[in-house]
A = this chain, B = another copy of it.
């Protein structure tokens, strides 16, 4: 087993890896839970939601104006206004059945959203009228039904409003609230367990002995998972011991939908993680045609994914974005928003090996003339952390290219807002 993994004889493209991942994960997250409507934004809709009633529940005005009999206005113009008798002022919230009927020659003032009184069949907008001594001059004709929102025009009773799997947004909540929903059934949060492997790791805040390093990848993964609505579970730090790693991953699988193991995924002597995981599940992909992040991969155990991510945050971040988040989408049956992107001009040439998808950390800033410039950051290894604070973008160079020339127009993933003048 160890021999087969050594040297990554087959590097798999990230697209292919993702395809394999989707094909192999059989576990699905289907349980739903009821949450208050205002807590539903960012959650995944748990069922097809149908309108319980017509909406609007009655014909109503789409503008501020006057409810009229359309036929009365035919031929009206600024030079030949039609004069109508004002008989009523309709309040928002008035019971439609309590309103007086509008007859030929009459008009009732009506606000946007106000119920159309019986007899009226159109609304003349405010700006095409003038009130003179309690009478109304109308300067433009309206067609029957003009400026009226018909009952059920927005939603017919029984019509699907939101679909299972949709990520719920604030504007969806407006639609649901209009229909009277106060709570909502959403898919439960995915649980993702994180195991940090490496005898060199110390938790932030603890004392750091010489040679040790703080476990920085776990809090990054944790907050990234939380951002996507998942519930992280901490499996702690394990020493470089196949038995311990294997046992801990097993424990993690029992209480989560996916496990992430960081560290120990390379091909050196000490790469115990693949060996440990191969005891529990099938290692499906190990070795990606990407940089950084080549030694990463995943296994499948009981239909759930076990990710082997780098212990280095930059590579782990790419593994999260390219594998873990798509796996969550697959298990939840949803799609998350794409990250924001921006186009700009590359300030210097950047090289990349052919056949390898290369993720270049970049600084996106505005030049003196307002142009968006993209500066590749110089790095010496995947452990270079400061690119994560100095940079605010990620340039993805395709496998087909051997780099990009200075001055190229490129599109990058914007990790943080563009640096404006005066920022570092």
Q: Collect the chain B residues with CB atoms within 8 Å of residue A62's CB.
A: 380-381, 383
A288 to chain B, nearest CB (A): 16
Q: Collect the chain B residues with CB atoms within 8 Å of residue A112's CB.
A: 266, 312, 381-383
Q: Collect the chain B residues with CB atoms within 8 Å of residue A149's CB.
A: 380-381, 383-384
Given contacts A64-B268, A89-B269, A380-B62, contact A174 B95 (CB under 8 A): no
What 0/1 pattern do residues 154 to 184 of A give for CB contact below 8 A with B? 1100001111001101111111111111110
Given contacts A92-B270, A180-B208, A415-B171, contact A227 B42 (CB under 8 A): yes
Interface-located stretch among A11-19, A218-226, A244-252: A218-226
- Choose among B154, B173, B200, B317 the residue that contacts A113 (Cβ–Cβ < 8 A): B200
Inter-chain CA distance A149–B385, complex, in Å, is 11
A290 at the interface (CB under 8 A from B): no
Q: Collect the chain B residues with CB atoms within 8 Å of residue A9's CB.
A: none
Contact of B268 with A38 in the complex, beta carbons under 8 Å:
no
A401 to chain B, nearest CB (A): 22
Instruction: List 15 extra interface pairs beyond A95-B209, A97-B210, CB under 8 A.
Output: A38-B222, A58-B211, A91-B199, A92-B270, A93-B198, A112-B381, A161-B386, A171-B313, A173-B216, A175-B216, A175-B313, A176-B204, A177-B204, A177-B220, A183-B205
Question: Which chain A residues in 127-160 approach chain B with CB under 8 Å?
Answer: 127, 147-149, 153-155, 160
Contact of A174 with B417 in the complex, beta carbons under 8 Å:
no
Q: Which residues of A contact B (CB under 8 A)?
A: 7, 37-42, 55-58, 60, 62-64, 89, 91-98, 109, 111-113, 115, 126-127, 147-149, 153-155, 160-163, 166-167, 169-183, 198-201, 204-205, 208-224, 226-227, 266-270, 311-314, 317, 335-342, 380-386, 388-389, 414-417, 423-424
- Choose among B96, B201, B226, B339 the residue that contacts A41 (Cβ–Cβ < 8 A): B226
Inter-chain CA distance A223–B227, complex, in Å, is 15
A204 to chain B, nearest CB (A): 5
Query: Can you pick out 13 interface pairs between chain A and chain B where the beta carbons lie within 8 Å of each other?
Result: A7-B127, A42-B227, A60-B383, A63-B381, A92-B198, A93-B199, A148-B380, A167-B416, A174-B317, A178-B214, A337-B417, A338-B417, A341-B341
A11 to chain B, nearest CB (A): 13
Inter-chain CA distance A55–B214, complex, in Å, is 11
Inter-chain CA distance A112–B42, complex, in Å, is 38
Contact of A211 with B94 in the complex, beta carbons under 8 Å:
yes
Closest to A417 in B: B335
Closest to A168 in B: B223
A269 to chain B, nearest CB (A): 7
Inter-chain CA distance A423–B127, complex, in Å, is 40
- Choose among B39, B95, B179 the residue that contacts A214 (Cβ–Cβ < 8 A): B179
Contact of B111 with A268 in the complex, beta carbons under 8 Å:
yes
A177 to chain B, nearest CB (A): 4
Q: Collect the chain B residues with CB atoms within 8 Å of residue A339's CB.
A: 340
- Choose among B175, B177, B415 the residue that contacts A389 (Cβ–Cβ < 8 A): B175
Contact of B177 with A215 in the complex, beta carbons under 8 Å:
yes
- Choose among B173, B211, B311, B388 the residue that contacts A172 (Cβ–Cβ < 8 A): B388
Q: 4 closest Cβ contacts across the A-B interface?
A: A93-B200, A62-B381, A182-B205, A174-B313
Closest to A156 in B: B386
Q: Collect the chain B residues with CB atoms within 8 Å of residue A384's CB.
A: 149, 153-154
Closest to A388 in B: B171
Q: Collect the chain B residues with CB atoms within 8 Å of residue A313's CB.
A: 171, 174-175, 178
Contact of A171 with B214 in the complex, beta carbons under 8 Å:
no
- Choose among B167, B170, B214 the residue that contacts A224 (Cβ–Cβ < 8 A): B170
